[in-house]
Amino acid sequence: MGAATGSSHHHAAGADVAPLPAPGAEVWIAGLPGGSLPTVVIGLDGDVLRVDVPRLGGRHVPVKAGQEAVLLYRDREVPCMARVRALADAGGGEVPMLPVAAPERIQRRQAVRVAVCLDVVLLVPSETDAEVPMGGHLGDPYTVRATTENLSRTGVLLALDAPPRAGGRLRVRLIGLDGAPVELAARVVRSSPAPRGGVGHCALCFEDAGRRERRLLTEFVMDRQRTLRRRELGLD
């Protein structure tokens, strides 16, 4: 998503208040028919955002006056969200939207990281004959099963018995983000072997994630953080 942002919202007194996205910034709108959809900010008049009407299958998604949604975007690589209400029906290729609460940074760090337990399959290129899968050749991937300890839009920390070496590249298949597995290229940035009777760990940095994968990761992490916050406040 685009990192450009506009002037601060008039509620910008709290530490986590974010600026609104600036014209030209890419945003995702959640809560419309068809799920979360990408679009672009056309203009910013005070606190009113003029957003290009999102499309699904090449057709405009209807947006009615009074309809509420959530904008997901980034401010200097920090994920942000703004709850908005449409001020008028979509027309002329755009829809005016007004924040109903102060936009917020989901977390100050650049990559929001949340604790979550998901099943993972790693596809690791074989480097020794012992690692080559049956009937395969050196360099063919072998599979390693792991579990996530925390996850962000840019990487994941895994718990597993035999962590791959740091610096290696592999593919990681995350299970549970959107029903179907999500597969990403990744690099091992840190690896800790398992102590006797314990579990090893490795940290992966995602590489070359596509638009769908970035959207799924961003939405999952944001939703998970909201859930954890509600639990902390005793609301769930």
Q: What is the model's pLDDT at position 134?
A: 77
Q: What is the model's pLDDT at position 5?
A: 53
Of 41, 28, 110, 114, nearest in space to 76 by CA: 110
Q: From CA 170, how far away is CA 160, in angstroms rounded?
A: 15
The pTM of the full predicted model, rounded to 2 decimals, is 0.55
Pick the more confident residue, 162 or 5.
162
Quote the radius of gyration of the chain (alpha carbons, Å): 21
Of 125, 108, 118, 97, nearest in space to 32 by CA: 97
Confidence of residue 208 (pLDDT cuts 50, 70, 90): confident
CATH code matching the domain that covers 113-232, chosen among 2.40.10.220, 1.10.510.10, 1.20.1260.60, 1.10.3720.10? 2.40.10.220
Q: Which residue has the tokens 């959809």?
A: 37
- For range 170-195, the mean pLDDT: 86
Please tell me whether residue 124 adopts helix, strand or coil conformation.
strand
Mean pLDDT (the chain) is 82
Q: Which helix (H) or strand (E) holds 225?
A: helix 211-232
220 phi and psi, to 5 degrees?
A: -65, -45
Is the predicted pLDDT of residue 128 greater than 50, yes or no? Answer: yes
Q: Hey, which bits of the chain come out as E strands? A: 5-8, 19-21, 26-32, 35-45, 48-52, 55-56, 59-60, 68-75, 78-86, 94-99, 104-105, 113-115, 119-125, 141-152, 155-160, 169-178, 180-192, 200-207
Is the predicted pLDDT of residue 215 greater than 80, yes or no? Answer: yes
Q: What is the model's pLDDT at position 111?
A: 61
Q: What is the model's pLDDT at position 6?
A: 52
**Amino acid found at 152:** S
Stretch among 98-102, 136-140, 175-179, 228-232 having the lowest mean pLDDT: 228-232
Q: From CA 26, how far away is CA 51, in angstroms rounded?
A: 10
DSSP state of 193: P
Half-sphere exposure of 114 (CA within 13 A, CB side): 19
CATH node for 5-105: 2.30.110.70
Instruction: Return the domain boundaries, the chain.
Output: 5-105, 113-232
Q: From CA 121, how far away is CA 123, in angstroms rounded?
A: 7
Confidence of residue 16 (pLDDT cuts 50, 70, 90): confident
Q: From CA 143, how far away is CA 139, in angstroms rounded?
A: 12
CA–CA distances in Å: residue 126 to residues 24, 120, 159, 170: 44, 18, 20, 10
Is the predicted pLDDT of residue 230 greater than 70, yes or no? Answer: no
Tens-place pLDDT, residues 52-61: 998 887 888 8
- For range 195-218, the mean pLDDT: 85
